[in-house]
Amino acid sequence: MINVVTLIDSIENIPGIGEKRLSALNDLGIFNIEDLLTYYPRRYEDMSVQIPSTSIDGQKVAFRGNVVSIPSFRFFGAHKSILTFKMKINLDVISVTFFNQPWLKNQIETNKELIIFGVYNKNKQELNGQKILNDAANTLQGYYPVSKDIQQKTLIQIIQNAYALYKNDIVNIIPENIAKTFNILPRQKIIENLHFPKTMLDSSNARKSATFEEFFLFQIRLQILKYSDKTNFGRSISINTKIVNDFIKTLPYKLTSAQQKVINEIITDVKAPIHMNRLLQGDVGSGKTVVAASVIFGVIEAGYQAAVMAPTEILARQHAYNISKLYADAGQNIRVELLTSSVKKSIRNQILEDLVNGKIDLLIGTHSLIQKDVLWYKLGIAVIDEQHRFGVKQRAILREQGENPDILSMTATPIPRTLAITAYGEMDVSTINELPSGRKKIKTYRASFNELEQIYSWVHQLILQGNKAYVVTPLIEESDSLDIQNAEMAFEEIKNSFPDIKIGLLHGKVPSEEKNKILTDFKNGKIDLLVSTTVVEVGVDNPNATIIIILDADRFGLSQLHQLRGRVGRNDKQSYTVLVADPKTEYGVQRLNALVASTDGFELAQKDLELRGPGDVIGIKQSGVPDFAVGNPIKDAQIMEDAQQSAIELVNTKNWEDNKINKELVKYLSETMQRYKDFD
């Protein structure tokens, strides 16, 4: 007999697994007994015996009956065959057909009783047979994701063997008190009812418990990491709140209460002797920059340096300009420098020297901030704007080179709350949920290309009345040069039609200095209308712009359109967005309609998910949500929330690791820890 020890034994211990099957199973991600026992079916087929009168057309069913005709069999084509016979089920007689299973013909004899599983065609009274069942005892049949190297049947057999051998070693990992609160089944029951359910209800209950287990294990690992990060790299920066408030009083506007609230949340974190990892979430135009500027001001006054990293040069430059202006207007002597790839070498060298000597207070830049030779004197806080534009690695480098500063990430790509707790699980989240007062709701319209001329003359009129406008040209993903060509064409066209207004052109190939001049001219009113590719998408701030025309709007995703629209509506005048498109797909139409219907980023993010459907793995991946084997973080959002809540409570309980109620969980986590590290 095999000496059963634990579920982390290799599956080699199970009878019937040789080298070939071992490697096939490994390919499916199954290495130990636990992997095997938690490799659950995707779906089930109901093999319980039905009768024709209550069965639905097209349904997969099993019928039990007697063969009442002499079976007919013939080959046709190269390798095709057809077998048909009549079968009597109570009073009904139906015809049964099997394609391409010639070996079955020997099993069909007149008067023999059979159970046949197949697809029922009610009109024709026909069953398209798939297989002959031996016995109807095992009524629900699980279907597993398998590969070409291993068959369903084999896998089921292996799982049966493993379950028989190991079922008594399956212990409950979820602590008893938590299991009780959320009605989580014992682990052995979960495994049994997912592989070998007696009813659909059994399996769906087991799946809920398995989902909780999966989410809970994910969350507990996350919360442990978060907890240890907070405590291990803690540093208390003593921000003087009064100084920050005095600075805020010098701003040209009053902060919204949401801005004030998040500033307080962030400052509390920075002052506490913990490491901050916080996400500031707020819709486009909600005023995140000034929140960051206020906190940074406090950090600098407390004797530390600060960093702001932005994804594009335009944005970095704009931040440098706006933030230093805020400080200067407040009469504060703070040294702000800009570091991007277009900064000259000699100037760059000077910046680096002054940075490491502590002569620079705030360094704002692009990816240039994470070059190896960028060294800090005493970095207190790093702000990462449009954080979703950066990879995990890049964020980590900034943190490492700055020797674990507090991190404030900012994003205007709101994702629905249901996904946020998974995607942002390792961060604390602050949300700005209101726009500055006095803003008028942006009016959004759809238009067709044959209305474009009219639209341009309308824009022309508005410009003559003092408005400023963007015209955004189509996104051509395959080709940069087409992208630019489109922008150039639109530019020429508008220029020729309206020689009395000043027009600018902006695209990716415009040299950075010129780009800069164009944006400044646009901001200062020397340019009335800016034709641009999507380089203006993220963050560009010209408060005077009130019109944005988006050409081929159906080429953009919903959140991108929302970002683009956010370029206007930044003052107290009425702003307009016109989506020009002749969409060819229903999905395109729906996206445009959604944008017309709502100006709320969170609502649109939810809508986006619905339009894509929860099966859209890419959409989910883009929001940073990991893959789950059992649960679906959108459909099972409530379970995720419960799992997160219990994990947070547990990890924040004193000495939870020593409490015997958590013994199996702690053991499980330490056994699987190495593995999680390896997968990183």
Task: Summarize as ranges the residues that interact with Mg ion (CB under 5 A).
Answer: 539
Side-chain-side CA neighbours of residue 343 (13 Å): 21
Contact between 282 and ligand ADP by CB under 6 A: the answer reads yes
Contact between 286 and ligand ADP by CB under 6 A: the answer reads yes
507: partner contacted, choices ligand ADP, Mg ion, none (Cβ within 5-8 A by kind) = none
**Contact flags string 289-318 toward ligand ADP, x per CB under 6 A:** xx----------------------------
Contact between 256 and ligand ADP by CB under 6 A: the answer reads yes
In the bound state with ligand ADP, the residue whose beta carbon lies nearer, of 237 and 412, is 412
CB of 564 to ligand ADP, least distance (A): 12
Strands of 441-554 (E only): list them: 443-447, 468-472, 503-506, 529-532, 545-551
Q: Which stretch binds ligand ADP (CB under 6 A): 107-115, 207-215, 284-292, 390-398?
A: 284-292
In the bound state with ligand ADP, the residue whose beta carbon lies nearer, of 146 and 251, is 251
Task: Report the candidate in 547, 482, 548, 534 with the shortest Cα–Cα distance to residue 506.
Answer: 534
Helical spans, DSSP H, in 548-615: 558-565, 586-597, 601-612
In the bound state with Mg ion, the residue whose beta carbon lies nearer, of 425 and 539, is 539
Q: How many residues does the chain have?
A: 680
430: partner contacted, choices ligand ADP, Mg ion, none (Cβ within 5-8 A by kind) = none
In the bound state with Mg ion, the residue whose beta carbon lies nearer, of 139 and 340, is 340
Q: Strands 72-76, 80-89: parallel, antiparallel or unpaired by DSSP?
A: antiparallel
Residues 6+ apart with CB under 8 A from 379: 304, 305, 306, 307, 402, 403, 405
Residue in the shown chain whose Cβ atom is closest to ligand ADP: 287
Q: How far apart are CA 442 and CA 267, in angstroms?
A: 33
DSSP characters over 611-638? HH-TT-HHHHHHTTPPP-SS--TTTTHH
Residues that contact ligand ADP, how many (by CB under 6 A): 18
**Contact flags string 114-153 toward ligand ADP, x per CB under 6 A:** ----------------------------------------
Q: Which stretch binds ligand ADP (CB under 6 A): 232-240, 268-276, 288-296, 329-337?
A: 288-296
CB of 366 to Mg ion, least distance (A): 14
Task: Out of 253, 449, 587, 676, name the contact with ligand ADP by CB under 6 A.
Answer: 253
Restricting to residues 520-539, which ones interact with ligand ADP according to CB under 6 A? 539
CB 646 within 8 A of CB 178: yes
Q: Residue 269 class from Cβ within 10 Å (0-12 exposed, 13-18 middle, 19+ buried)? A: buried
Task: Report the candidate in 139, 258, 251, 260 with the shortest Cα–Cα distance to residue 200.
Answer: 139
Contact between 573 and ligand ADP by CB under 6 A: the answer reads no
Task: Out of 41, 52, 65, 287, name the contact with ligand ADP by CB under 6 A.
Answer: 287
Q: How far apart are CA 470 and CA 550, in angstroms?
A: 8
Task: Out of 285, 298, 311, 425, name the contact with ligand ADP by CB under 6 A.
Answer: 285
In the bound state with Mg ion, the residue whose beta carbon lies nearer, of 405 and 539, is 539
What are the C-alpha distances in Å from 680 to residues 346, 393, 626, 674?
Answer: 39, 12, 12, 10
Contact between 255 and ligand ADP by CB under 6 A: the answer reads yes
Q: How far apart are CA 280 and CA 263, in angstroms?
A: 10
What are the C-alpha distances in Å from 355 to residues 351, 372, 379, 394, 407?
Answer: 6, 13, 10, 20, 19
Binding site for ligand ADP (CB under 6 A): 253, 255-256, 259, 282, 284-290, 412, 436, 539, 541, 543, 570
